[in-house]
Amino acid sequence: MRLLVGAIVVLALLYGGYWFVGAGAAERGALAAMARLEARGLNITHGGLEVAGFPNRFDLTLTEPQLQDAATGIGWSGAFAQVFSLSYKPWHLIAALPDQQQITLPGQVLVLTNTRMQGSLVMKPAPDLPLTALDAVAEGVSLRSDQGWALALASANLRLAEAEGGSYQLAARVLDLVPDQRLAASTGLPETVERLDLLADVTFDRVPALRDGAAPAVQRVVVQEAHVVWGPVKLLAKGDLLADATGRAEGRLDLRIEGWRAALDAVQSLQLIPDRFMPLLAGVLTQMEQASGEPGIIALPLTFQNGLTSLGPVPLGPAPRLR
């Protein structure tokens, strides 16, 4: 019995020592991460860094953090930022942010409130900590600007998970998005966008890893399906996009739009397409509807080529950047 008790005491002391070593490593890792961000031009201040959770967890809390990019004027601040992990599984991290945050943009300040904002990062226990899965969730979100506009959403979810063939599957969904009232009123559409979602396969130039010095670059995005449901407008998109030499999208998305006339009116009211192209586009879309044999429904390509975006025959402007 004495040997058993002695063994338990020794194991407890060893585990306690492991926790304190791990806590110190977590604190040094957080300080090193902030130093890397500062080396990239971010100014970071905070009111203190603490690691708690003995003996089963490492709970790292950064009090009153403030981040500011001097080059762009973009900044963020909150009451705290927290990262948690189990002491026996430190390669699985859970992060939490406060229910009120402030975002500074050039010319305006935004206040972000939420009922829940958390993320989870699962990595492989390897030296560079390669990514296995990333999850993020936000609920009860409200964003208000000191310039007078606001938006809100019921929930948003994001998941990026390792898939076969070296790619990652990206799934994102936003439910009950309420854009600024003036924006919704100008489109003639309902006040709430019921659904936005995306399912895609993403290929990077290298495996994302926590200890990588720079973010991996996107090489290819295969959109399995993307949906927008906004009142009478229902959009479905599928396609394959590559990043060209400049990082802009190259490829095509095939769109199927139900309620296209309401969508076209909204696009025109938002001035997303130059007025001089509207008669041409309306005529082409009417012909497409007649050819489809489905009243109110059209199918057309959104193409990205030579750095430009075109909706059917109508040029829209520069292609989006993938990296």
Report in angstroms the alpha-carbon separations of 319 from 222, 240, 245, 309, 311: 16, 14, 13, 5, 11
227 part of a folded domain: yes
Boundary residue ending a domain (202, 231, 260): 231
User: Do 215 and 122 belong to one domain?
Assistant: yes
Q: Are 189 and 141 in the same domain?
A: yes
Q: Is residue 143 part of a domain?
A: yes
Q: In the structure encoding, which two tokens stand for residue 243, read together?
A: 């990043």
Domain count, the chain: 3
Residues 86 and 55 in one domain: yes
Q: Is residue 62 part of a domain?
A: yes
**Alpha-carbon distances of 298 from 262, 280, 294, rounded to whole Å:** 12, 15, 8
CA pair distance 52, 217, nearest whole angstrom: 35
Domain boundary among 106, 127, 142: 106
Place of tokens 């004027």: 73
With the CA atoms of 309, 311, 314 and 319 taken in that order, what torsion angle do they form, in degrees rounded to the nearest 10? -10
For residue 38, the 8-state DSSP code is H
The per-residue pLDDT for 16 is: 47
Give domain status of residue 240, yes or no: no
Listed residues 106, 127, 150: the one ending a domain: 106
Omega of the bond leading into 55 within 30 degrees of 0 (cis): yes
Closest CA to 283 of 271, 266, 302, 300: 300
| 156 and 178, same domain (yes or no) | yes
Query: Is 303 a member of any domain?
Result: yes
122 part of a folded domain: yes
pLDDT string in tens for the chain (323-residue length): 554 444 444 444 444 455 666 677 777 878 888 888 888 888 999 999 998 878 788 889 999 999 999 888 899 999 999 999 887 788 899 999 999 999 999 989 999 999 999 999 998 888 888 899 999 999 999 999 999 999 999 999 999 999 987 789 999 999 999 998 888 788 888 999 999 999 999 999 888 887 776 778 899 999 999 999 999 999 999 999 999 989 999 999 999 999 988 988 888 888 777 788 788 888 888 888 887 778 889 898 999 999 999 887 778 889 999 88
- Spatial separation of the C-alpha atoms in residues 61 and 27, rounded to whole Å: 10
Instruction: Indicate whether 68 and 158 sit together in one domain.
Output: no
120 and 75 co-located in one domain: no
pTM strictly above 0.95: no
For residue 245, is it within any domain? no
DSSP letter, residue 215: P
**Do 196 and 275 share a domain, yes or no?**
no
Q: Domain containing 3: what range?
A: 1-106
Give the pLDDT confidence score for residue 243 in this predicted structure.
Answer: 93
Looking at residue 8, what is its pLDDT? 46
- 122 and 223, same domain (yes or no): yes
Residues 160 and 216 in one domain: yes
Shared domain check, 92 and 11: yes
- Examine the domain organization and report whether 119 and 227 are in the same domain: yes
**59, part of any domain:** yes
- pLDDT tens digits for range 191-233: 999 999 999 999 998 888 877 767 788 999 999 999 999 999 9
Same domain, 190 and 156: yes
